Structure 1
């Protein structure tokens, strides 16, 4: 019985030490939290997954230990493939942009598709520093 308790404690400690996910895909319900429920933070709006710039944004998120959520307008729900972009907020009128949302409003945005490689990393780092 004692071994079971110790083993359970070790498993719980290891589960709590999991790596934090700083860059992950979210869905329309999560975007609504930013725009309707006072969640503040960074959202990358894209029109397809696995674009080159995404690795640079992810790198900045991990290095700065700041959460950047990614929303693909053609995947409004997990497993969905929408024929039209699903984004009912006018504040997000462009794709491949990093937005900072605070108090249900977009406070700033950065066109991440307009830069390459290290310049993109520098611009994303600067943008994150402005709003974190």
Structure 2
């Protein structure tokens, strides 16, 4: 059985309540449940974690080494600010797909630059919660 790690960063625990016109009405629990169902036929376990704390996300990235075949990561606002998370991603061999529900390139200019994308396997933006499933598809195909 394979294992994927789903990491969600700051404020993603507020999905379904926070700016539904941008992020939709689905909750983080909805996303996790849907992704687990999607992965079931592939015999892949999903371990889902969310934190508003940068250090905790870094710890989980580092602990993923040798345990997971891939990481699906929505780093939230840390995308644009965290060199520490970038360094954590570049220090591990587990591939990371960066996912964003909204199209960050259609939003405020400070959201246009990802500190993390250059050290990730790929980036999926603007496709809503389908982006999580697309990232999972990459790892199981």
**TM-score range normalised by the length of the shorter chain:** 0.3 to 0.5
Per the normalisation by structure 2, the TM-score is 0.37
Q: Which has the higher helix share?
A: 2
TM-score, normalised with respect to structure 1: 0.38
Larger Rg: 1
